[in-house]
Structure 1
Amino acid sequence: MSLLFVCVCVCMYRCNLPPLTRGYAEHIGKRTHLVTANPSIIDKRFEGLEWSRRPFLESMRVYNRSFIYMPAFSSYIGTEPSFRAAHTLVDASANQTVLFAHPEFLRHVSAFWAARDVSAGRLTTGLFMVTLALSLCDQVDVYGFWPFSHGPDNKPLSHHYYDNEPPNRYHAMPQEFLQLWQLHKSGVLRMQLGDCEGAGR
């Protein structure tokens, strides 16, 4: 998956709190209204905010007044780092506002897709965001949802545009992709699979 974010009407949702260490800062935050941050990212990339909060706060500056969406209650190990991230932003008077996903939302979305043959131990953040977007917006454009190691042109792709860390083994990404592709074919959303420069946006 080379890129993972959702363009929704006049709102831009971006997933997985992309790092700013490889020159992406000028592109990442300019049009982002909501960015997701899994608790595991807080633990791995920012050492759980136990030792220093500065790298986390510096990485958040690019997001201006974006909302930071965290599934704090999706697992018991995610609650503490989520609250720590929220308190860090409040204590620093940062511009961003943290939103915690309601446990019932997480449960109902998981049940919805399970009934449609997405047999995942855990849905991807991207599918949660697409579901949210479809419930709020008239038009949804999806970019970068591609679960395979080679693109449609058969060129090799990294898992994300900023790293090639393998996907979580609990995810069923090909099944998710098939569901999104069917929604694309039926006109419910629009998937952009090729170069974004040709997307007309």
Structure 2
Amino acid sequence: PLKMHCRDCALVTSSGHLLHSRQGPQIDQTECVIRMNDAPTRGYGRDVGNRTSLRVIAHSSIQRILRNRHDLLNVSQGTVFIFWGPSSYMRRDGKGQVYNNLQLLSQVLPRLKAFMTTRHKMLQFDELFKQETGKDRKISNTWLSTGWFTMTIALELCDRINVYGMVPPDFCRDPSHPSVPYHYYEPFGPDECTMYLSHERGRKGSHHRFITEKRVFKNWARTFNIHFFQPDWKPESLALKPPENKPVF
């Protein structure tokens, strides 16, 4: 099991909102810096920082990680890697894609600190989604995003979380929202809001529910020590409505 605790964490998203943000020095000053999938630092340090304490990686990103291993699996920083995916990918009987790749990696990089989420943990993530949204993940054809796993893991490890590059849930509904790339490292890739809205509304096949997840994160920020930067926003406090004086009879 992963033994890690940080007073403060920078959770760096992969969003295009980080481009030209110059948040790098601020991010690097944080005790623990958390990144996702194959989001690079090389060439983007001024905006996203250079340090990585923890990297949370989806089963679907493992090939890209292997291709860029010289940059991303840099053992010298002592980065911890957490791989998540459906239990079929994690099987240890020779059929689990993620497990097999990690076995190969550990031979090449014996000092690599890599962890896999257990089946039990994956079920906990599903259960949490159901508790928070009222929706069953499987029945609603939802894939949880790496952001969901990363935020949930960060809540376990960090006393304070500074999230960089995450928009509020209603951001894409505003017709005047700026257009930014979905990933800062794919500047000519798809637009972030286009991606969010198409996934949120998608009915055929499985989709990420990015906006639903952000509603949950916004809610959590009311209770937990979570703060949003680039764009900077705070959840409005829930005003307690005064009781209405209704006649009893």
- TM-score between both structures, scaled by the size of structure 2: 0.60
How far apart are residue 172 of structure 1 and its match? 0.9
- Out of 67, 85, 102, the position equivalent to 1:86 is 102
Is contact 1:70–1:100 with CA below 8 Å preserved after alignment?
A: yes
* 1:39 maps to amino acid: H
Partners of 1:78 and 1:141 lie apart in 2 by 30
- Out of 44, 66, 74, the position equivalent to 2:79 is 66
How far apart are residue 123 of structure 1 and its match? 1.4
| Unaligned segments of structure 1, at least 5 residues | 47-52, 196-201
Partners of 1:161 and 1:151 lie apart in 2 by 21
Aligned twin of 2:126: 110
CA spacing shift, 1:60–1:123, aligned 2, 3 Å: same
Partners of 1:14 and 1:85 lie apart in 2 by 20
Partner-residue secondary structure (3-state), 2:162: strand
- Out of 75, 88, 93, the position equivalent to 1:76 is 88
Partner-residue secondary structure (3-state), 2:218: helix
Aligned twin of 2:112: 96
Larger Rg: 2
Is contact 2:17–2:230 with CA below 8 Å preserved after alignment?
A: no
CA spacing shift, 1:10–1:58, aligned 2, 3 Å: same
* 1:160 maps to amino acid: H
Is contact 1:140–1:190 with CA below 8 Å preserved after alignment?
A: yes
* 1:189 maps to amino acid: I
Is contact 2:17–2:180 with CA below 8 Å preserved after alignment?
A: no
- Following superposition of structure 1 onto structure 2, how do residues 18-97 of structure 1 map, counting pairs within 5 Å? 18-19=39-40, 23-24=43-44, 30-43=50-63, 45=64, 55-62=67-74, 64-72=77-85, 74-77=86-89, 80-93=96-109, 95-97=111-113
Aligned twin of 2:183: 160
- TM-score between both structures, scaled by the size of structure 1: 0.72
Partners of 1:153 and 1:133 lie apart in 2 by 32
The answer as to 2:36 corresponding to 1:15 is yes
Identity percentage of aligned residues: 21
Higher relative contact order (CA 8 A, sep 6+): 1
Partners of 2:173 and 2:45 lie apart in 1 by 26
How far apart are residue 95 of structure 1 and its match? 4.0
The answer as to 2:143 corresponding to 1:122 is yes
The answer as to 2:126 corresponding to 1:137 is no
Partner-residue secondary structure (3-state), 1:128: helix
Deviation per CA, 1:1-59, whole angstroms, max 9, x where unpaired?
Answer: 4369xx7x621111112246x7237876732111122221124x36xxxxxx6x34323
Aligned twin of 1:198: none
Partners of 2:111 and 2:183 lie apart in 1 by 27
How far apart are residue 99 of structure 1 and its match? 0.6
Partners of 2:147 and 2:110 lie apart in 1 by 25
CA RMSD of aligned residues (A): 3.4
Q: How many corresponding residue pairs?
A: 182
CA spacing shift, 1:145–1:24, aligned 2, 3 Å: same
CA spacing shift, 1:140–1:91, aligned 2, 3 Å: same
The answer as to 2:203 corresponding to 1:189 is no
Partner-residue secondary structure (3-state), 1:131: helix
Partners of 2:17 and 2:102 lie apart in 1 by 26
